[in-house]
């Protein structure tokens, strides 16, 4: 052993090891207090990158799970409304059967009045059923108000401001002529083939838009509204307005921009005229009309059952999607935990070891610093 006073190698070695133990214990404290093995990129850059990917996916899947829940809730609202319409169609069937028989006699007016009210209520439910501000069963769900066709470009010119209430993929044939009375008003006719058959409505004496203003032309039986501006001029002949053919409204049920991560839902109109064209008012005031109505009610019931079947299939799909999302979230969370979370037992063992090493290192550094003082005994 050499006796040197310029450089205390033993103390330097003890100090270096003490620093290593202190750093290791600080890292253990950080991991034990946070619960994470990786607290910064320097801990494990590759592991942090993988973990961040898992966490982003988990967050997205959690939102997708909520989307599925809300999608299912939307369908439940629609199905509930359809259930009530089904009950009313059943009642209409009863009334039509009663009115079609010769024994109905003087009760026809009462039967017809109830039937009219049922049809009005069917249309009210179709027009008012909504979820989060979106109408579900009037034929406009998922249909944008973009418009194409010849009526705007050929006949009305720039006078067609906007169109709303169009049903998906339906072609509306529109004609507008100047009223023969010479009062400056117009006569509008719209016809369209809806699910229940051909439907038409004519409005007479419709005023045009004043300068700088707009005018709304509402075809209540179809739920169609046409807004005109002051550039409108009526022309002879009919043109078409075509609703943009709406694809199914998509619910995002995955974490990627892919058709495989979306579920499309289509909801059609359940208005009386779209369930069947013959389902209109005043069809039970004679036995002959009531007999014809029986067929229309049967068609409407079959159409409604078809629509409800589609909703049931979509609800089942949402249920499977929800179960798959729950499993995926669980598996991704487990994978992220393996990479990023600390093993508390192992880390506590490491902490205890480093704590002992730190205490021992401190004691040995003290001993190493005292060693040069032994040299002074040589001068006695």
pLDDT for position 113: 93
d(Cα 126, Cα 258) in Å, to the nearest integer? 32
pLDDT for position 297: 94
d(Cα 150, Cα 378) in Å, to the nearest integer? 116
pLDDT for position 235: 58
Which H or E run includes 103?
none
pLDDT for position 376: 64
Six token digits for residue 93: 């069937």
Is the pTM value of this prediction over 0.85?
Answer: no
Please write down the HEC assignment for all residues of 344-371. HHHHHHHHHHHHHHHHHHHHHHHHHHHH
- Per-residue pLDDT of 227-270, as tens digits, reads 877 777 765 455 666 655 455 688 999 888 888 899 988 888 89
- Per-residue pLDDT of 345-380, as tens digits, reads 888 888 888 888 888 888 887 877 776 676 666 666
Contacts of 87 (CB under 8 A, 6+ apart): none
pLDDT for position 375: 66
pLDDT for position 85: 96
Q: What SS3 class is residue 277? A: coil
Q: Determine how β-strand 147-148 pairs with β-strand 235-243.
A: antiparallel
pLDDT for position 291: 92
pLDDT for position 176: 78
- Domain 55-141+248-332 architecture: Up-down Bundle (1.20)
Which whole-number Å values give the CA distances from 90 to 9, 303, 304, 340, 359, in the listed order?
101, 13, 11, 61, 87
pLDDT for position 4: 63
Residue numbers in the chain where pLDDT is lower than 50: 1, 154-157, 236, 245
- Per-residue pLDDT of 21-49, as tens digits, reads 888 888 888 888 888 888 888 888 898 89
């Amino acid at each position: 052993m050499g006796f040197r006073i310029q450089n205390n190698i033993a103390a330097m070695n003890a100090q270096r090891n003490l620093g290593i133990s202190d750093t290791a214990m600080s890292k253990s404290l950080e991991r034990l207090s946070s619960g994470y093995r990786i607290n910064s990129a320097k801990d494990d850059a590759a592991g942090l990158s993988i973990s961040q990917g898992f966490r982003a996916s988990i967050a997205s899947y959690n939102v997708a799970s909520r989307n599925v829940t809300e999608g299912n809730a939307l369908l439940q609202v629609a199905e509930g409304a359809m259930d009530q319409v089904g009950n009313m169609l059943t009642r209409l069937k009863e009334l039509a059967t009663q009115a079609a028989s010769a024994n109905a006699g003087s009760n026809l007016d009462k039967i017809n009045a109830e039937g009219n009210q049922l049809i009005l209520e069917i249309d009210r439910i179709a027009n008012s059923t909504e979820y989060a501000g979106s109408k579900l069963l009037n034929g406009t769900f998922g249909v944008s108000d973009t418009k194409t066709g010849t009526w705007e470009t050929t006949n009305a010119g720039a006078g067609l401001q906007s169109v709303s209430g169009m049903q998906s993929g339906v072609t509306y044939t529109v004609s507008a002529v100047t009223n023969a009375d010479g009062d400056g008003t117009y006569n509008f006719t719209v016809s369209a083939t809806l699910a229940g058959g051909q439907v038409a409505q004519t409005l007479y004496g419709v005023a045009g838009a004043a300068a700088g203003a707009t005018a709304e032309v509402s075809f209540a039986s179809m739920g169609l509204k046409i807004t005109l501006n002051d550039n409108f001029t009526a022309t002879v002949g009919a043109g078409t307005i075509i609703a943009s053919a709406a694809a199914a409204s998509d619910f995002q049920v995955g974490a990627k921009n892919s058709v495989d991560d979306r579920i499309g839902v289509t909801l059609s109109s359940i208005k009386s005229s779209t369930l069947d064209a013959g389902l209109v008012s005043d069809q039970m005031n004679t036995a002959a009309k009531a007999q014809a109505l029986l067929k229309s009610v049967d068609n409407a019931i079959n159409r409604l059952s078809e629509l409800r079947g589609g909703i049931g299939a979509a609800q089942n799909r949402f249920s499977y999607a929800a179960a798959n999302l729950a499993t995926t979230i669980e598996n991704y969370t487990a994978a992220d935990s393996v990479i990023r979370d600390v093993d508390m037992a192992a880390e506590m063992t490491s902490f205890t070891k480093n704590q002992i090493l730190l205490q021992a290192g401190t004691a040995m550094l003290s001993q190493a610093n005292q060693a040069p003082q032994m040299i002074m005994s040589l001068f006695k």
